Amino acid sequence: MARHLITSAIPYINGIKHLGNLVGSQLPADLYARYLRGRGHEVLFLCATDEHGTPAELAAKKAGKPVDQYCAEMHGVQAEIAKGFRLSFDHFGRSSSKQNHALTQHFAGRLADQGLIREVSEKQVYSVADARFLPDRYIEGTCPNCGYDKARGDQCENCTKQLDPTDLINPRSAISGSTDLEVRETKHLYLMQSGMRAQLNAWIDEKTDWPILTTSIARKWLNDGDGLQDRGITRDLHWGIPVKRGDQDWPGMEGKVFYVWFDAPIEYIACAGEWAEAHGLGDDAWERWWRTDKGAEDVRYTQFMGKDNVPFHTLSFPATILGSGEPWKLVDYIKSFNYLNYDGGQFSTSQGRGVFMDQALDILPPDYWRWWLLSHAPESSDSEFTWENFQSSVNKDLADVLGNFVSRVTKFCRSKFGEAVPEAGSYGPEEEALIETITARVRAYERSMEAMEVRKSAAELRGIWVAGNEYLQSVAPWTVFKTDPDKAAAQIRLALNLVRLYGVLSAPFVPDAAADMLKAMQTEDDSWPDDVRAALGVLEAGHAFTVPDVAFAKITDEQREGWQARFSGVRE
């Protein structure tokens, strides 16, 4: 079996994320990790919170808490919500960890040794009242384009126009509100990634199997105009990883921290170190995943992310790794996603528009959300969440198809044969045809999952569920029982084995329902059906089962209308 390293884009610490964030990285990554584990592969699935930069400081200020305390609390909140959605991370780390401090400083030192870092003098806005330089997002004012009075120094959220702090009318500090601002000179470190264009182009050229969305964004940044520029990797902030050259001080960089987009991707590696430490393991345990001189040459590394993160993961992070001159593992495949929009508009974390992850779990179990989001994943284009479509998909796919099949089969068997797999009867042409159909569909499901085609995988799985329902409707054991009980017994024996098989196949999408199906069938055998015919005979005659509770309650029109009204406004 292969070894698979999987990472999903690490979410910012500043608040609870919406469903668009979930389906853009973490959820499909979990789907793939669960599938690979089910096939017997060794998997290390990592994620973390992105805790540095302006958003963290501003969110902490708004919450009235020290930034380190705020980040620690929000990491706990996000970790708990991840568990609520059954995200099966092997470790959910923190970019503020000691491991990430050490690795970020190490990479900076290596890049400097390779001549890829230079000092640049810049003019930036300085707040006299706050006694500090202000990053662009720390400056607010009136947008010169649309007149919005809370535009930031980098962009106006109202009209989306890109801005410089000096463009703002009546600029003020977002920290104190002070207008006593000056333009002063400061020094920063830049990663000279423009000089790595040829090396990065050659690397991207090798990725012939990547999604078009990923490679098109990477090539646009590589080859168009202002794309691949030297990039500042330090900031005048209080919260972050102190600028050092390895474990040595960096003269002239006192009081500065590394820019969040330099240290955040390095957390993918550091997170493995956190995982090893949490399990009492040594450095060898994580290095075998990340260093090609320590065993990582046989690792398949896959990243999942929204399209806005692609430039940093196809260019800046690889530039850091390649530029270090050390044998670090580079990503093998990047699965990128478009945006999920919300009911005629857009999700927005900053404006609280749409359904957020904690709210979603408050109103429905995770399987409802997992199924809809994955079956509507924004792969080839943006997709849109509407309450009508959500209700329809859940009711048809989960309640009418999967849930109904399990309920009908188990209840009928209990009423006619008792709570054990029937012994009588042999399979006829209808059963043989079903086995062939299921076999073909399982192989198609596997191909889609291997290719990380999320929506197609969902469609293939639903097709497997539908095949069982169509068989049940066609052979009608409740009618056959009246004249040929042995034949009906054989039909139900196959159907009960199909329930177990559904539990195995459905686990990556709806893990709670899958576990309930296996529990109802009173089996811990969740082995993958390499031989579907054999898998449909695992539950032998006489094997006991129980009738499970209703797996999926239908969403009523009244519920849908209530939720639609509740989430139509701005979250406070």
Q: What is the pLDDT of residues 221-270, one digit of tens each?
A: 888 756 678 889 999 888 999 999 999 999 999 999 999 989 999 999 99
Main-chain dihedrals φ then ψ at residue 62, nearest 5 degrees: -65, -35
Which residues does the annotation place in the binding site for ATP?
A: 349
Between CA 266 and CA 45 the distance in angstroms is 15
The beta-strand segments (E) located in 373-415 are 383-385
Between CA 176 and CA 509 the distance in angstroms is 47
Q: Which amino acid, 416? A: K
Between CA 157 and CA 148 the distance in angstroms is 9
| Chain centre distance of CA 265 | 15
| DSSP helix/strand/coil, 168 | coil
Between CA 72 and CA 51 the distance in angstroms is 9
Q: Taking 50 as the threshold, does the pLDDT of residue 301 lie above it?
A: yes
Which residues does the annotation place in the binding site?
A: 143, 146, 156, 159, 349
Does an H or E element contain 91, and which? Answer: strand 91-94
Q: Which of 122, 158, 132 is nearest to 54 (CA)?
A: 132
Mean local confidence (pLDDT), 332-346: 91
Q: Which amino acid, 86? A: R
Residue 347 to residues 339, 343, 357: CA-CA distances in angstroms? 9, 9, 12
Assign domain 117-191 to its CATH architecture: Beta Complex (2.170)
pLDDT in tens, 177-227: 999 999 999 999 999 998 898 899 999 999 999 999 999 989 888 887 566
Which residues does the annotation place in the binding site for Zn(2+)?
A: 143, 146, 156, 159
| Chain centre distance of CA 74 | 18
Give, in degrees to the nearest 5, the angle at Cα 120 between 119 and 123.
145
Give, in degrees to the nearest 5, the angle at Cα 567 between 338 and 361.
75
* pLDDT score of 571: 45
Write out the DSSP string of 411-456.
Answer: HHHHHHH-SB--------HHHHHHHHHHHHHHHHHHHHHHTT-HHH
Between CA 375 and CA 456 the distance in angstroms is 8
Does an H or E element contain 501, and which? Answer: helix 485-506
**Beta carbons within 8 Å of 183's beta carbon, 6+ residues apart:** 123, 124, 125, 126, 166
Mean local confidence (pLDDT), 51-75: 92
pTM, two decimals, is 0.93
* pLDDT score of 337: 95
Q: What does the domain layout of the chain look like in residue ranges? A: 3-115+192-363, 117-191, 386-535
Give the least confident one: 441-455, 494-508, 553-567: 553-567
**Beta carbons within 8 Å of 279's beta carbon, 6+ residues apart:** 285
Count of CB atoms situated within 10 Å of the CB of 281 = 12
Q: What is the 3-state secondary structure (H, E, C) of 521-560?
A: CCCCCCCCCCCHHHHCCCCCCCCECCCCCCCCCCCCHHHH
Mean local confidence (pLDDT), 451-468: 98
Give the least confident one: 66-80, 151-165, 550-564: 151-165
pLDDT in tens, 420-434: 999 989 999 999 999
Q: Which residues pair with 395 in a beta bridge?
A: none
Banded pLDDT at 344 (limits 50, 70, 90): confident
Main-chain dihedrals φ then ψ at residue 76, nearest 5 degrees: -65, -40
Between CA 416 and CA 412 the distance in angstroms is 6
Superfamily name and number for 386-535: Isoleucyl-tRNA Synthetase; Domain 1 (1.10.730.10)
pLDDT in tens, 121-137: 988 899 999 888 888 87
Q: Taking 50 as the threshold, does the pLDDT of residue 10 lie above it?
A: yes
Does an H or E element contain 565, and which? Answer: helix 557-566
Q: Which residues of 163-198 are buried (b: 16+ CB within 10 A; e: fewer)?
A: bebebbeebbbbbeeeeebeeeeeebbbbbbeebee
* pLDDT score of 155: 83
The answer to whether the CB of 215 falls within 8 A of the CB of 204 is yes
Residue 395 to residues 135, 386, 560: CA-CA distances in angstroms? 48, 14, 12
Give, in degrees to the nearest 5, the angle at Cα 508 between 503 and 510.
65
Domain 3-115+192-363 top-level CATH class:
alpha beta
Average pLDDT over the chain, rounded to an integer: 94
* pLDDT score of 262: 95
Give the chain's length.
Answer: 572
Radius of gyration of the chain (CA): 27
Count of CB atoms situated within 10 Å of the CB of 335 = 24
**Beta carbons within 8 Å of 561's beta carbon, 6+ residues apart:** none
pLDDT in tens, 129-185: 988 888 887 899 999 999 999 998 888 878 878 788 888 999 999 888 999 999 999
Between CA 62 and CA 65 the distance in angstroms is 8
* pLDDT score of 572: 45
pLDDT in tens, 268-299: 999 999 999 999 999 999 999 999 999 999 99
Give, in degrees to the nearest 5, the angle at Cα 376 between 370 and 382.
125
Place of tokens 């159907």: 495
Whether 3-115+192-363 shares its CATH topology with 117-191 is answered no
* pLDDT score of 444: 98
* pLDDT score of 226: 60
Its sign, for the CA torsion 464, 365, 6, 517, is negative
pLDDT in tens, 409-422: 999 999 999 999 99
